[in-house]
Amino acid sequence: MLIRHCALCNKEIQVSLPYDNSYVYYKTKRKWYHADCFIAVATDRILNGGWFGKTKDYVLQEVSKDNLYKFFVKHFQAEYVPPYIFKRLENIYSGCEKGLTQPIPPHELLDIIERKESYLDKQFIRKGITDSTTKINYALTTACGSYKSYKEWRAGIEAEQEAVKQSKADQQYSAAFNRMTKTRSTESKKESMFIDLDDD
C-alpha cells in the first residue's frame, strides 16, 4: 500500500490494489485527490470559468476560422482554397508568419479584413487582380501589415469605453453622495427643530 496526500484537503490517500474508486490520480497535474475532492475541484473549475473559459476561447477561434473561410469563398469568389493558404493562416495565428512580431487571433484577422474590404476591392481593380487565391494572399498580407495599427486603434476604443464606464460610475457615486448629503441635511433640520421645541 502506498500513502499519498490529497492535493485539496491534504489528508492521506491509501493507494492499493484492487482499485476501489475512492481516489483519482490527475496525470496532467501529477496530483492525487480523493474522489469527492476531485469532483469539487472539477466543479469549481467548470463553474468559475476555467474550463468554460477555455471552451469559449476555442469556440471563438474555430467559428472565426470558419467565418474567415466563408468570407474568402463569398467575397473573393473562391471555389477552391489551396492547402498552402490554410498553412499560411496557421502561421499567422501562431505568429510564425514572416514579418509578424506577434500572433493574430482568427477573430481579429477576420475583423481587419472585413474593415479593409472596400480598400482591398479598390486595390484589386487598380492592380488588375482577378484570381481568388491571389486576392486571398493580398488580403492576408495587407492584414498582417496593418495589425500593429489595428491593435493601437482597438486599444484607443477600449480606453474610451473604460473612460465612459468610469464616468458613469463617478456620476452614480456623485448622485448617491448628493442624496445622502441631502438626507442628512433634512435629518439635521428636523433634529434642530426638535431641539428648538424642547427649548420652549
Residues of 121-130 as b/e, b for ≥16 C-beta within 10 angstroms? eeebeeeeee
Which comes out higher in pLDDT, residue 33 or 68? 68
> What percentage of the chain reaches a pLDDT higher than 70?
80
pLDDT tens track for 79-132: 888 899 999 999 999 999 988 889 999 999 999 999 999 999 999 999 999 999
**195: pLDDT confidence band, cut at 50, 70 and 90?**
low
CB 120 within 8 A of CB 142: yes
Our CA angle for 165, 171, 175, nearest 5°, is 145
CA–CA gap between residue 110 and residue 10 (Å, rounded): 48
> Could you give the percent of the chain with pLDDT greater than 90?
32
Which of these, 117, 64, 59, lies nearest to 89 by C-alpha position? 64
Local confidence band at 51 (pLDDT 50, 70, 90 cut-offs) = low
- Which cell numbers hold the place of 195? 431641539
Spatial contact of 40 and 49, defined as CB atoms under 8 Å apart? no
Where in the chain are the domains? 2-47, 53-145, 155-200
What distance in Å separates the CA atoms of residue 105 and residue 64, rounded to the nearest whole number? 9
CA 82 – CA 61 distance, rounded (Å):
21
